[in-house]
Homo-oligomer: A and B are copies of this chain.
Amino acid sequence: MLLDVLYLVAIVAEAMTAALSAGRRSMDWVGVMLLGCITALGGGSARDLLLGHYPLAWVAHPSYLLLTAGAALATIAVARFMHRLRIVFLVLDAIGLVVFTVIGCTIALDLGLPFVIVIVSGMITGCVGGVLRDVLCNDVPLLFRSELYASVSVVAGCLYVGGLHLGLPHDPVMAVAMAAGLLLRLLAIRFGWNMPRFVYTRDLH
Protein backbone atom coordinates (compact mmCIF):
# COMPACT_ATOMS: atom_id res chain seq x y z
CA MET A 1 0.00 0.00 0.00
CA LEU A 2 2.29 2.75 1.30
CA LEU A 3 5.22 1.05 -0.43
CA ASP A 4 3.28 1.04 -3.72
CA VAL A 5 2.56 4.76 -3.43
CA LEU A 6 6.17 5.49 -2.49
CA TYR A 7 7.32 3.40 -5.46
CA LEU A 8 5.26 5.50 -7.87
CA VAL A 9 6.51 8.72 -6.28
CA ALA A 10 10.07 7.40 -6.53
CA ILE A 11 9.96 6.44 -10.20
CA VAL A 12 8.41 9.81 -11.05
CA ALA A 13 11.13 11.61 -9.11
CA GLU A 14 13.90 9.52 -10.72
CA ALA A 15 12.46 10.15 -14.20
CA MET A 16 12.33 13.90 -13.55
CA THR A 17 15.91 14.21 -12.31
CA ALA A 18 17.05 12.03 -15.24
CA ALA A 19 15.22 14.42 -17.57
CA LEU A 20 17.33 17.26 -16.21
CA SER A 21 20.48 15.21 -16.93
CA ALA A 22 19.17 14.76 -20.47
CA GLY A 23 18.64 18.49 -20.73
CA ARG A 24 22.22 19.15 -19.64
CA ARG A 25 23.27 17.03 -22.65
CA SER A 26 20.81 18.87 -24.93
CA MET A 27 19.00 15.65 -25.75
CA ASP A 28 15.81 15.81 -27.76
CA TRP A 29 12.35 15.04 -26.36
CA VAL A 30 12.60 11.37 -27.27
CA GLY A 31 15.96 11.14 -25.51
CA VAL A 32 14.46 12.84 -22.45
CA MET A 33 11.65 10.28 -22.28
CA LEU A 34 13.93 7.31 -22.91
CA LEU A 35 16.47 8.43 -20.32
CA GLY A 36 13.65 9.02 -17.83
CA CYS A 37 12.23 5.52 -18.32
CA ILE A 38 15.62 3.81 -18.29
CA THR A 39 16.77 5.61 -15.14
CA ALA A 40 13.54 5.06 -13.23
CA LEU A 41 12.96 1.44 -14.26
CA GLY A 42 16.50 0.28 -15.10
CA GLY A 43 17.48 -0.79 -11.59
CA GLY A 44 14.51 -3.11 -11.19
CA SER A 45 14.99 -4.41 -14.74
CA ALA A 46 18.66 -5.22 -14.13
CA ARG A 47 17.74 -7.06 -10.94
CA ASP A 48 15.03 -9.06 -12.71
CA LEU A 49 17.36 -9.99 -15.59
CA LEU A 50 20.13 -11.07 -13.22
CA LEU A 51 17.79 -13.11 -11.02
CA GLY A 52 15.75 -14.50 -13.92
CA HIS A 53 12.62 -12.94 -12.38
CA TYR A 54 10.10 -12.57 -15.24
CA PRO A 55 8.04 -10.71 -16.31
CA LEU A 56 9.80 -7.41 -15.64
CA ALA A 57 7.78 -4.85 -13.68
CA TRP A 58 7.14 -2.55 -16.65
CA VAL A 59 6.18 -5.45 -18.92
CA ALA A 60 3.54 -6.53 -16.38
CA HIS A 61 2.53 -2.90 -15.70
CA PRO A 62 3.00 -0.85 -18.89
CA SER A 63 1.51 2.11 -17.01
CA TYR A 64 4.91 2.49 -15.30
CA LEU A 65 6.42 3.27 -18.70
CA LEU A 66 3.74 5.83 -19.52
CA LEU A 67 4.07 7.41 -16.07
CA THR A 68 7.86 7.78 -16.23
CA ALA A 69 7.89 8.91 -19.86
CA GLY A 70 5.16 11.45 -19.03
CA ALA A 71 7.00 12.69 -15.95
CA ALA A 72 10.20 13.13 -17.97
CA LEU A 73 8.33 15.05 -20.66
CA ALA A 74 6.54 17.23 -18.12
CA THR A 75 9.94 18.09 -16.66
CA ILE A 76 10.75 20.02 -19.84
CA ALA A 77 7.89 22.39 -19.04
CA VAL A 78 8.60 22.79 -15.33
CA ALA A 79 12.43 22.63 -15.35
CA ARG A 80 12.77 26.36 -14.85
CA PHE A 81 11.00 26.08 -11.50
CA MET A 82 12.70 22.91 -10.33
CA HIS A 83 15.85 24.49 -8.96
CA ARG A 84 13.68 26.08 -6.27
CA LEU A 85 12.60 22.55 -5.40
CA ARG A 86 16.18 21.29 -5.28
CA ILE A 87 15.81 20.04 -1.72
CA VAL A 88 12.51 18.37 -2.50
CA PHE A 89 14.12 16.40 -5.30
CA LEU A 90 17.13 15.41 -3.21
CA VAL A 91 14.72 14.06 -0.59
CA LEU A 92 12.61 12.29 -3.22
CA ASP A 93 15.74 10.74 -4.72
CA ALA A 94 16.78 9.51 -1.27
CA ILE A 95 13.27 8.10 -0.70
CA GLY A 96 13.55 6.38 -4.07
CA LEU A 97 16.85 4.79 -3.05
CA VAL A 98 15.45 3.23 0.14
CA VAL A 99 12.13 2.24 -1.46
CA PHE A 100 13.90 0.54 -4.39
CA THR A 101 16.26 -1.16 -1.92
CA VAL A 102 13.45 -2.60 0.18
CA ILE A 103 11.54 -3.77 -2.92
CA GLY A 104 14.69 -5.41 -4.32
CA CYS A 105 15.31 -7.20 -1.01
CA THR A 106 11.69 -8.38 -0.85
CA ILE A 107 11.84 -9.91 -4.33
CA ALA A 108 15.07 -11.77 -3.58
CA LEU A 109 13.65 -12.98 -0.24
CA ASP A 110 10.56 -14.29 -2.04
CA LEU A 111 12.87 -16.20 -4.40
CA GLY A 112 14.51 -17.82 -1.36
CA LEU A 113 17.96 -16.43 -2.17
CA PRO A 114 20.81 -16.25 0.39
CA PHE A 115 21.43 -13.18 2.55
CA VAL A 116 24.27 -11.69 0.49
CA ILE A 117 22.22 -11.88 -2.71
CA VAL A 118 19.20 -10.30 -0.99
CA ILE A 119 21.34 -7.29 -0.03
CA VAL A 120 22.89 -7.13 -3.50
CA SER A 121 19.43 -7.35 -5.06
CA GLY A 122 18.38 -4.32 -3.03
CA MET A 123 21.52 -2.46 -4.03
CA ILE A 124 21.11 -3.26 -7.73
CA THR A 125 17.49 -2.12 -7.62
CA GLY A 126 18.44 1.12 -5.90
CA CYS A 127 21.58 1.99 -7.81
CA VAL A 128 21.71 0.60 -11.36
CA GLY A 129 19.21 3.10 -12.81
CA GLY A 130 21.60 5.94 -12.04
CA VAL A 131 24.55 3.99 -13.46
CA LEU A 132 22.68 3.46 -16.75
CA ARG A 133 21.81 7.17 -16.83
CA ASP A 134 25.46 8.14 -16.38
CA VAL A 135 26.74 5.64 -18.96
CA LEU A 136 24.20 6.88 -21.52
CA CYS A 137 25.19 10.48 -20.72
CA ASN A 138 28.83 9.41 -21.30
CA ASP A 139 29.93 10.02 -17.69
CA VAL A 140 31.83 7.81 -15.27
CA PRO A 141 28.96 6.69 -13.01
CA LEU A 142 28.49 9.01 -10.04
CA LEU A 143 27.86 5.90 -7.95
CA PHE A 144 31.49 4.87 -8.34
CA ARG A 145 32.91 8.25 -7.51
CA SER A 146 31.01 9.98 -4.84
CA GLU A 147 28.84 10.21 -1.78
CA LEU A 148 27.21 7.54 0.28
CA TYR A 149 24.74 5.94 -2.08
CA ALA A 150 25.38 2.22 -2.53
CA SER A 151 26.43 2.14 1.12
CA VAL A 152 23.09 3.63 2.18
CA SER A 153 21.38 0.89 0.23
CA VAL A 154 23.46 -1.78 1.95
CA VAL A 155 22.73 -0.34 5.41
CA ALA A 156 18.98 -0.13 4.74
CA GLY A 157 18.98 -3.63 3.27
CA CYS A 158 20.87 -5.12 6.23
CA LEU A 159 18.53 -3.48 8.75
CA TYR A 160 15.48 -4.72 6.83
CA VAL A 161 16.66 -8.30 6.29
CA GLY A 162 18.29 -8.51 9.71
CA GLY A 163 15.11 -7.33 11.42
CA LEU A 164 12.98 -9.86 9.56
CA HIS A 165 15.51 -12.59 10.37
CA LEU A 166 15.13 -11.78 14.06
CA GLY A 167 11.40 -12.43 13.69
CA LEU A 168 10.40 -8.80 14.22
CA PRO A 169 7.09 -7.71 12.59
CA HIS A 170 7.44 -6.68 8.94
CA ASP A 171 5.97 -3.19 8.82
CA PRO A 172 7.92 -1.62 11.71
CA VAL A 173 11.13 -3.26 10.49
CA MET A 174 10.58 -1.87 7.01
CA ALA A 175 9.76 1.58 8.37
CA VAL A 176 12.88 1.65 10.56
CA ALA A 177 15.15 0.38 7.74
CA MET A 178 13.81 2.98 5.33
CA ALA A 179 13.95 5.80 7.88
CA ALA A 180 17.52 4.91 8.84
CA GLY A 181 18.62 4.75 5.21
CA LEU A 182 16.89 8.02 4.41
CA LEU A 183 18.45 9.74 7.43
CA LEU A 184 21.93 8.44 6.59
CA ARG A 185 21.61 9.60 2.97
CA LEU A 186 20.37 13.07 3.93
CA LEU A 187 23.09 13.48 6.58
CA ALA A 188 25.67 12.40 3.99
CA ILE A 189 24.42 15.06 1.57
CA ARG A 190 24.16 17.73 4.25
CA PHE A 191 27.62 17.18 5.69
CA GLY A 192 29.34 16.08 2.50
CA TRP A 193 30.22 12.64 3.86
CA ASN A 194 32.13 10.59 1.31
CA MET A 195 33.74 7.21 1.13
CA PRO A 196 37.52 7.53 0.95
CA ARG A 197 38.85 7.56 -2.58
CA PHE A 198 41.47 5.29 -4.07
CA VAL A 199 43.83 7.32 -6.21
CA TYR A 200 46.32 5.35 -8.27
CA THR A 201 48.44 7.13 -10.84
CA ARG A 202 50.88 4.47 -11.99
CA ASP A 203 50.24 2.57 -15.21
CA LEU A 204 50.10 -1.18 -14.74
CA HIS A 205 50.84 -1.85 -18.38
Contacts and interface: CB of A to CB of B under 8 A. Distances in A.
Contacts of A198: 19, 22-23, 26-29, 32, 76, 79
A82 interface: yes
A202 B83 contact: yes
A113 to B, nearest CB: 7
Interface residues of A, number: 69
Taken together, the copies of this chain in the complex come to 3
- The 7 lowest CB-CB distance pairs between A and B, nearest first, are A23-B200, A31-B144, A62-B116, A28-B195, A52-B54, A23-B198, A27-B144
Contacts of A55: 51-52
Contacts of A65: 116, 120
A79 B26 contact: no
A17 B204 contact: yes
23 contacts: A22-B144, A23-B200, A27-B197, A28-B144, A28-B198, A30-B143, A30-B144, A31-B143, A31-B145, A34-B143, A34-B144, A35-B144, A45-B50, A52-B54, A59-B117, A62-B116, A62-B120, A65-B116, A83-B202, A86-B204, A131-B136, A135-B135, A137-B140
